[in-house]
Structure 1
Amino acid sequence: MHFLGELILILLTTVLLGQLFARFNIPAVVGELLSGIVLGPALLNLVKPNDIISLFSQFGVILLMFLAGLESDLDLLKKYFKLSFTVAGIGVVLPVIFMGLASYAFGMKPLEAIFIGIVFAATSVSISVVVLKEAHQLQTRAGTAILGAAVVDDILAVIVLSLFTTFSHEGGKSGITNNFFINLLIEAAYFVVVWIIYKFIAPYFMKIAEKLDVNYSVVIASLILALTMAWAADFVDLSAVVGAFFGGLAIRQTPQYKEVNSSISAIGYSVFIPVFFADIGLSMTFDSFFKDIWFILVMTVLAVVSKFWAGKYSSEMFGFSKNEANIVGSGMVSRGEVALIVAQIGITHHLFPEDIYSSLILVIIITTVLSPFILNHYIKKAN
């Protein structure tokens, strides 16, 4: 029952800090992120990362991305696919180059330096989604470009990670098999299945659920669909959040999506999503801060700049205004749970020195906390 006390503390602190920041016109999600830093090992040490919190957190980010899919305009996503792919492609290449070279300059071996670049290649759009929703910007073309780019970004980052671990001979198994090309075919097959679910299965599945004489049968059916797609994505070595997002898109086209959106929002935002944001902060400690201060500062600047430039200049090439391009760039800055997972893979397979692990986690969390500030700044300039 110790977890119940921790959950009470997390929910209470996320609400209070979220409200405090909202009062100053700062996204409430910043307060929710900081609640983990305040409660965790970094400051008060009242709550420590554990398996139950991690489980709630994983479910929270899946629900968050499912909701993002539910509120997305598929026509806009199709319209800006080329832009999304360009932003994602450049947004994977630049961090690998910038942060790889910087890591090499700080004394890392070439393979270690490349892997550190890969850690920062993927964007965590979950933070940006909340800021965009609060500002009613999720269905604008900038918001759509951010969502599309983040999904493509995750896929490209997984491919880059798979390539690295396959050809470096230091990463161990990455994917279902040890053969990169077979893994790639399996992942391609996953997207074929996603299309079939979207086109044929989801509408009939929801129609059947609606006829059942069971409380919230439509909501339960939507969760079954979304969780299955998230699990399948994870199984083929993609990010579970990609599957959850496509699950939301599949439900979006059905007449039941408003009921689903309302119910899932209540479930997610009342418990699981606040725990997800707090859990990111719980990973933070200041143990290596002063020892590795220059490494942390340089890597933080490069982590922000590489993603921001990729989003900004790619968007301008596709005719976005300067401020719209700034919104896209700032929406790509956050790393969050995806980078944490890749860093965990790296430390498990000894792909970089253990003594910089804490510093890398710190850089990931700093970019995650900075991201809503930067995004909110450019959204306000646009209004």
Structure 2
Amino acid sequence: MDVFDFILQIVLVLFVAKIAGQISLRLGQPSVLGKIIAGIVLGPAVLGWIEQTEIIHVFSEIGVLLLMFLAGMETDLESLNKNVKAATLVAVLGVIVPILMGWGAAPLFGLPTSEGVFLGLLLAATSVSISVQTLREIGWLNSKEGATLLGAAVLDDVVVVILIAVAIGFFMGTDTNIAWVIAQQIIFFIVIYIVGKYIVPKFMKLFGGMLVTEPIIAGALILLFAAAYFADFLGVSGIIGTYFMGVALSKTKYAQQIEHGISPIAYGIFVPFFFINIGLPMSFDGIGDQIIFILVFSVIAVLSKFIGCGLGAKVCGFSWKSSAGIGAGMISRGEVALILASIGLSGGILSEKIYGAMIVVIVVTTLVTPPLLKFIFGKRLEAEEV
């Protein structure tokens, strides 16, 4: 792609994302909803003005890394620690219920066991990045419900990565060392804890004494991208790396300066690409042949997380309203499920027609989440519209 063609797409994406977000807010919905719909409209499914190129994908990945980093900066660590038990139960039930429902429904469409299991694992994934932005807009991110959601999403991601490794090793006949996969997860959390507690403060103090332009912001960016790379290297999602780096940096004296410096970079350029990019893979080709499958699995995708995660929250003492909100916040599958679906397709576990149908299901869960969160939680006074 010519550099000026991409510049034109930057103009188009940023303009449409902000306009769509504003329209969505005017209609009483979170801005995220309008941006995702805009991606569907601009993409191959409708107008075909924007394609999912490698450069757009990279901008989108940077966007979600920055989004989760800022979520980490805003996380109340004390609240997160207090809700570990609830987050664990929410995550466990949020994995078990979707797997059972997805696997159980697969035979209705004549799918083999391997495909059914993989579909269940796809439905077990959670992309909390959509919920993070929605919760921030309606003022619930820095709450015990928000802390539980974030904690559950992290645990959910770890469990699903391990289960996917097991499934791939079993169904594809690859020599997957499950013990090493688990060890990688443990290594990551040990290292990120040590780095966050002992190295990050010294690193930022070093950069804080520099006379070059914006040393604090540069130092924070170095740390967050290094954390993302390290997480990905160990088979953990990069967004978990940036989230915990955000938590670590929030405990330094530079926290406010970092947040004020990185937020414009994130929301001014990269985050809009992430939301627009979610709608780009959507395609209506052959959707008529799979309409029953899409409807059934969309209902399963929504209800399995809503019931499973909501039940986990209720058992841990949350009110019905909070439990329903936590269940709703875990519904979105977003980029995590899209990545897993592509792995299933390339590995021959998912057929092309089922892969295409699941893309639609994933987008449906992503579209449902923002308005459902807004409906259940309502808007708190400290909400910030971005």
Give the TM-score, by structure 2 length: 0.96
Q: Which residue of 1 aligns with 2:185?
A: 187
In the alignment, the residues of structure 2 paired with residue 169 and residue 34 of structure 1 have an alpha-carbon distance, to the nearest angstrom, of 36
What is the correspondence of 1:1-383 to structure 2 with a 5 Å cutoff? 1-170=4-173, 172=174, 178-380=176-378
Sort the Cα spacing of 1:381 and 1:71 in 2 relative to 1 into closer, same or farther, 3 A.
closer
Sort the Cα spacing of 1:20 and 1:382 in 2 relative to 1 into closer, same or farther, 3 A.
closer
SS for the counterpart of 1:231 is helix
Query: RMSD in angstroms over aligned alpha carbons?
Result: 1.3
Matched AA of 1:249: V
Q: Deviations over 1:147-202 (max 9, x none)?
A: 111111111110111111223344x46xxxx3110222122111110110111011
The number of equivalent residue pairs is 378
Task: Flag structure 1 segments of 5+ consecutive residues without an equivalent.
Answer: none
Identity, in percent, stands at 39
SS for the counterpart of 1:292 is helix
Q: Which residue of 1 aligns with 2:384?
A: none
**Moved segments of 4+, more than 6 Å:** none
In the alignment, the residues of structure 2 paired with residue 329 and residue 20 of structure 1 have an alpha-carbon distance, to the nearest angstrom, of 27
In the alignment, the residues of structure 1 paired with residue 179 and residue 240 of structure 2 have an alpha-carbon distance, to the nearest angstrom, of 20
Matched-pair contact (CA < 8 Å) for 2:60–2:273:
yes
The offset of 1:105, in angstroms, is: 1.6
In the alignment, the residues of structure 1 paired with residue 179 and residue 34 of structure 2 have an alpha-carbon distance, to the nearest angstrom, of 43
Matched-pair contact (CA < 8 Å) for 2:172–2:347:
no
Matched-pair contact (CA < 8 Å) for 1:80–1:144:
yes
Give the TM-score, by structure 1 length: 0.96
Matched AA of 1:241: I
In the alignment, the residues of structure 2 paired with residue 205 and residue 75 of structure 1 have an alpha-carbon distance, to the nearest angstrom, of 24
The offset of 1:226, in angstroms, is: 1.0
Sort the Cα spacing of 1:342 and 1:142 in 2 relative to 1 into closer, same or farther, 3 A.
same
In the alignment, the residues of structure 1 paired with residue 352 and residue 41 of structure 2 have an alpha-carbon distance, to the nearest angstrom, of 25
Matched AA of 2:67: L
In the alignment, the residues of structure 2 paired with residue 139 and residue 294 of structure 1 have an alpha-carbon distance, to the nearest angstrom, of 39
Matched-pair contact (CA < 8 Å) for 1:323–1:381:
no
In the alignment, the residues of structure 2 paired with residue 264 and residue 238 of structure 1 have an alpha-carbon distance, to the nearest angstrom, of 23
The offset of 1:382, in angstroms, is: 8.5
Matched-pair contact (CA < 8 Å) for 2:139–2:379:
no
In the alignment, the residues of structure 1 paired with residue 338 and residue 129 of structure 2 have an alpha-carbon distance, to the nearest angstrom, of 14
In the alignment, the residues of structure 2 paired with residue 5 and residue 276 of structure 1 have an alpha-carbon distance, to the nearest angstrom, of 17
In the alignment, the residues of structure 1 paired with residue 17 and residue 45 of structure 2 have an alpha-carbon distance, to the nearest angstrom, of 16
Matched AA of 1:220: A
